[in-house]
A and B are shown apart, each in its own frame.
Chain A
Amino acid sequence: MKNVLGREIPESIQGYGTVKPFKGAFESLGNVEKKSVQLRSIVPGESKILSSIREAMEKCNIKDGMTISFHHHLRNGDYVLNMVLEEVANMGLKDIKVAASSIFPIHAPLVEHMRNGTVTGIYANYMSGPVAEAISRGELKNPAIMHTHGGRARAIQAGDLKIDIAFIASPTCDSYGNINGVQGPAACGSLGYAIPDALYADKTVAITDNLVPYPASPIEITQEYIDYIVEVDSIGDPKGIVSGTTRITRDPVGLKIAKMTSQVIEASGLLKDGFSFQTGAGGTSLAVAAYVKELMKEKEIVGSFAAGGITGYIVDMFEEGLFKSLFDVQCFDLKAVESYRDNKNHQGMSASMYGNPHNKGAVVNNLDVMILGATEIDTDFNVNVTTGSNGMIMGGSGGHSDTAAGAKLSIVVTQLMRGRLPIIVDSVTTVTTPGESIDVLVTERGIAVNPQRQDLIEKLKDTNLPVMTIEELKEMAEEMTGIPEKIQLDDKIVAVVEYRDGTVIDVVRKIKD
C-alpha cells in the first residue's frame, strides 16, 4: 500500500507487525490511554544497592526476548549500554531488544551482539556509526524501529514500546535512587530522555559512578521509580559527552544561509517580545542564532523561551536577557550543564513534555521558530535526516518531526548541494518529516516557501530576499551538478520509520553493496 505521502509500504512487515499508515501530522491523535505499570513495592529496611550489573539483571529476572532501554545523554562518551550488553551476552541471553534513545559510534560492540543473535531488535530515535551501518546492511534480525524523541515517549507511555528493564546512566545517584545529571565526573545536565523510561519500565536500574549519601540534591529522577542501584568505575567519557558540533560555522556559505534565515524570521513578524526559538547544535543553525541575537538586541526584543538540546551559545543569549527561560531536554556542552545546574530559569523537560503528541500539549506546540537541517528535501518539502543519499542510515528524526509539527515557522537550512550531490530531489530516499510540517527552505542561492504558506510568501515579497519555487531551486542546483542517478536498494526492509503518532511514515531498505 501507499501512505498519504505516496511511500510504498507493506501492510504488514515481518518482525514489526501490522502497519498503521501515516495519514497526516495530526490525523491520528485524539483520545488516548496511558498504559499501567506493574511494580514491586519496597518496604523499610530493604537496600537497593547491588554489587554488579549481573546481579541487577538476575534480580530483574531478565529473560530471552526482553526489551531493555537506555538514554543517550552521555552521547558518544556512553559506557553504560556496552557494559550492560556485554553482561547480557555473558549470560547467554538471546533475542534481546535494545531500546536506546540514540546510538552512537561508541556503541560499535552492539554489532557483534546483533550478529550472534543476542540482540534481535533495536529501537532508536537517532543512530550513527557502525550499528547504523550494520542495520543498513541487514545484519539485525528484525527491522529497527526509528522513533522521534516525542514519539518514543508516546510509544512508551502508550505501551507500544514496552520496556522490561530500563538502565539509567546516572551521573549522580544517592543510596535510595534519587538521580541528577549535574554532579559527578560524567555530569551531562538534563536527563530529559530518561524520564519516560524511568516512569514506565517494569524495572529500573540506576548505573552510577558517583554514589552519594541520601538524599542527593538536586533530584531530577526520584527514588519512587528506581528498583536497584549499581555502582561502576565510570559511566562515560566526558570528552565524548560534549558534542563536537557546537561551534558557529566559519564557512561563508553557511553564514550566508544563516543571515538570510534571520531575515526570513524577521519578515515573518514572529520576532517580537515573547518570541520562542529552537535550533540544533550544527554550525549553520548556531550561526542563525547568532544573527537572531543581533536582531533581538537591535530591536530590544525579550523572548519567552528557547528549547531543545541546549548549547552554550543559547545559554549566552539567555544570560544576556534575550530569553526569560530555557527548556532543556539535553545539554550539548559543559556551559549548558553549568547553567542548568545554577540557574532556576534554565528548566529541565522530559522527552514527553518536549514532544509527545499524546500529551495535553507539548513544549514544541509553543515554539514560534524552529531551525532544522536536512540531508535531502523533496519538491513536496518532505525531509530526510534518516539516511544518506546512498541509502545508509546515518541519523534519524530526533526532535526533527516533533518540532517541525509544533512550531509556527519551521525553517530548513541547508546548502543547495553537498559536494556534487544536490539536496533537493524529486523524492527523498527516506521521509523523516512530512512536507506539511515544513514552511521554508533556505539555501545559499535562494529561498523556497511551502505553497501552503501563502501568507508567508506575501510577507517575503516585501523583502529583497531571493524567493523562488522549490522546483526552480532544484533546477538551479542540477544545472551545476547534473541529474543524479537513482540509487538501487534491496527490497528487504531494515528499519521502520514511525512518525511521532506511531504511524509508519516510511521504511528503510537494505543497501546493495
Chain B
Amino acid sequence: MEIKVPAKAGTMESNDIYIMIQPNDEGGIQLDLESIVMAQFGKQIKETILATLEELDVKDAHIIAKDRGALDYTIRARIETAVKRAI
C-alpha cells in the first residue's frame, strides 16, 4: 500500500500508542519511536510495528510513534488505522 497523505491514529493515554505516518520520499521505512518502556520493550515494539507494516504491504513510510505502554494488539491496531487513513 502506498502512503499518500499524512495521517494519525491512537492517543497519548496510558496503554495506548500515538502514531503519525507520512510518505517517505527517500524510500523505505523510517521509524522514530519513543516509549515509556524503551529499555524493556523497545525492540519488541519496533518489531511489531515493522511486522504490521509488512503485512499491510507498506514499503515506504516515515512513522513517528509515541508509546505509552501499549500491548502488541493495540500497536497493531493503531498502525493499521494510521495506514488505512493514509492511503
A/B: CB atoms within 8 Å of each other: yes
* Tally of contact residues, A, Cβ under 8 A: 13
Chain B residues with CB under 8 A of A418: 69
Bound complex: CA A482 to CA B15 (Å): 14
The residue among A389, A480, A485 with the most chain B CB atoms within 10 A of its own CB is A485
Q: Is B87 an interface residue (CB 8 A)?
A: no
CB 8 Å contact bits of A482-493 with B (1 = contact, 0 = none): 101101100000
The winner among B39, B42, B44, B68 for most chain A CB atoms within 10 A is: B39
Q: Assess whether A421 is interfacial by the CB under 8 Å rule.
A: yes
Report A-chain residues with C-beta under 8 Å of the C-beta of B36.
Answer: 419
Nearest residue in B to A485 (C-beta to C-beta)?
B40
Contacting residues, chain B, for A421 (C-beta < 8 A): 37, 40, 69
Question: Could you tell me if A484 and B40 are in contact, using CB atoms closer than 8 angstroms?
Answer: yes
Task: Answer yes or no: A272 CB below 8 A from chain B CBs.
Answer: no
Residue contact B39 to A419, C-beta cutoff 8 Å:
no
A388-409 vs B, CB cutoff 8 Å, 1 = contact: the mask equals 0110000000000000000000
Q: Which residues of A contact B83 (CB under 8 A)?
A: none
Q: Contact check: which of A389, A482, A487 meets B44 at CB < 8 Å?
A: A482
- Contact: B68 with A419, CB < 8 Å? yes
Give the number of residues in B that approach A within 8 Å (Cβ atoms).
15
CB-based nearest A residue for B15: A419
Query: In angstroms, how far is the closest chain B Cβ from the Cβ of A115?
Result: 26
Minimum Cβ distance to chain A for residue B41 (Å): 6
Contacts of A390 in B (CB 8 A): 39
- The answer for the CA separation of A418 and B15 in the assembled complex, in Å, is 9
Contact B39 A481 (CB under 8 A): no
B71 at the A interface (CB under 8 A): yes
Please name all residues of chain A whose beta carbon is closer than 8 Å to the beta carbon of B14 when the two chains form the complex. 419
Cβ-defined contact, B39 with A485, below 8 A: yes
Contact assessment for B37 and A487 in the assembled complex, using a CB-CB cutoff below 8 Å: no
In the complex, the chain A residue whose C-beta lies closest to that of B68 is A419
User: Which residues of chain B are within 8 angstroms of A299 by Cβ–Cβ distance?
Assistant: none
A420, CB-defined interface residue at 8 Å: yes
Q: Is the CB of B43 within 8 A of A419?
A: no
Query: Do A482 and B39 contact each other (CB < 8 Å), given the known contacts A419-B14, A419-B68, A419-B69?
Result: no
B53 within 8 A of A: no
Interface members, chain A 475-511 (any B CB < 8 Å): 480-482, 484-485, 487-488
Given contacts A419-B14, A419-B15, contact A389 B69 (CB under 8 A): no
Report whether A487 and B40 are in contact in the complex, using a CB–CB cutoff of 8 Å: yes
Residues on B lying within 8 angstroms of A by beta carbon are 14-15, 36-37, 39-44, 68-72
A interface residues, Cβ below 8 angstroms from B: 389-390, 418-421, 480-482, 484-485, 487-488
